[in-house]
Amino acid sequence: MTAGLAAATLVAGLGITAATATPAAAASWCNTTIGLFTNGGDHNLAQIPAYNSSLNCITARGATSSAVGAIQRSLRYCHGRTSVAVDNNFGAITERELKVVQRQLGLDDDGVYGPNTRDRLRWRGSEGVCGTLP
């Protein structure tokens, strides 16, 4: 028996397992939107992706929700990504175009929506004006 295998057997025999650390406040999957005013105007209410009442959320390919539709409106109307359909489905085109915009904004272009992307995107509001969150 090799030393590595012997050590693994000993650890397993003692019931010791390795654990991976997770962030204390890990973001949840976006499932709705919250109306917030943007820097595009005092009356420019934009719908921003959220998890229940928290803006601390993530979403990615495969998701289907109004939160995805808000991201798609941002990409299409505020960032010129006209190939994105506003259909509430986070598919390959939404992912590809989000990566393009993330790269343009100097973010990691991973195609995943999260707090860093939220803070840099321009959001289309009720007046049809695009603005960032204050």
The highest-confidence range among 25-39, 40-54, 56-70, by mean pLDDT, is: 56-70
- 18-22, 36-40, 66-70, 115-119: least confidently modelled range: 18-22
CATH classification of 26-127 is 3.30.565.10, yes or no? no
pLDDT digits (tens, 9 = 90+) for 91-123: 999 999 999 999 999 999 999 999 999 999 999
Instruction: List all residues 6 or more positions away from 129 whose beta carbon is below 8 Å from its beta carbon.
Output: 38, 40, 41, 44
**CA proximity to 63, closest of 15, 97, 34, 31:** 31
Q: Does the structure show a pLDDT above 80 at 24?
A: no
pTM: 0.80
Q: What contacts 71, CB < 8 A, 6 or more positions away?
A: 49, 59, 90, 94, 98, 113, 121
